[in-house]
Structure 1
């Protein structure tokens, strides 16, 4: 008798999420229809509506999945630089610089969703904004553990740098200015009185 366990097949909802993530990120949310998603996933349209109720529901799930990828990167960075907020911040920007300098980079899914959905009351826009605030809170918490001259100014500067990388990575031919994100983050920290001896 074989001792191998059967490998579970992805359920329809998982296939839909995976297909939607690829299509939404590469083409834009509004540009992709439900028919295209289910065709790529190899499932039926009722399967999508049973799992997510609507395209907006699927889009919200897509944004949450995208944010989980972000937190996965952050967890790895914190594991590699324990109890060192300065090194964690810089490791994030060094990694972002490399990712944003790759051909085909499409920026941040949350930022893109906010641009696509200008109505602040739209559920997709609200969810994207909520997740964006989580990222700002992470930066703010890291900065609060450093002896910055002006913690609020430094937090805002780092957030503006992040958002600038998301856009510039799509505008300029690789590697473009985004490759310097880590160097710029170091300048921001230095200008706020945070030196390498805080590592």
Structure 2
């Protein structure tokens, strides 16, 4: 870690500690020690601990948005495959979640204040994620893209929580089957409406 620039070392240390111990339990001194730097150096890069938490979550959110970009690029003009690709991205990440849990869900639990800058990052990320999923469902010709996207979102987030608490086995495999069933059920409704009209 010492070979990285200070800002990257701080963010790496913060991520490791926030994920393993939680945001509220980790102090700036612990982050400084893990990053092999000083508290003063942290405050040179981040005005407050809250700003550091928000930046960590901003980076994570960008990683998730990059997953949308990848599935859109891998399946151009095939929105059904894009939706399944996104579900696969979540399903493949579930084994890691079983140890640490979803950083967004965990952070929300620790940050009840709606005005907290890190909470605002999460809310903006989730809103963008839902908009992109609605667009995929619209592109797939689903008759009620908002409803389909809501169902898929509930399943994706529920799978993450169920994996974290160990209540459901084979969560990734089951997640994929459920998302596929949601998409196909909505597509079947489109076909029924078209046939009836």
Q: Assess same fold via TM > 0.5.
A: yes
Check conservation: 1:101, 1:175, Cα contact below 8 A: no
- The yes-or-no answer on 1:54 pairing with 2:48 is yes
* Structure-2 separation of matches of 1:46 and 1:191: 56
Using structure 2 for the length normalisation, give the TM-score: 0.86
SS in structure 2 of the partner of residue 79 of structure 1: helix
Pick from 149, 152, 163 the counterpart of residue 158 of structure 1.
152
- The alpha carbon displacement at 1:102 in A equals 4.4
Q: In structure 2, what is the equivalent of residue 128 of structure 1? A: 122
Structure 1 match to 2:67? 73
Paired positions, count: 187
Deviation at 1:156, TM superposition (A): 0.8
Unaligned runs of 5+ in 2: 190-197
Q: Root-mean-square deviation (CA), in Å?
A: 2.0
Which range moved further: 10-19 or 172-181?
172-181
Partner of 1:31 in structure 2?
A: 25
- The superposition leaves residues 97-129 of structure 1 with CA deviations (integer Å, 9 ceiling, x where unpaired) of 122134744333222211111122222222211
Q: Given that residues 94 and 182 in structure 1 are in contact (C-alpha distance below 8 angstroms), is that contact kept between their aligned partners in structure 2?
A: yes
Q: Which residue pairs with 2:178 in the alignment?
A: 184
Separation of aligned partners in 2, 1:102 and 1:67? 17
Larger CA deviation: 156-165 vs 186-195 = 186-195
Out of 103, 119, 122, the position equivalent to 2:113 is: 119
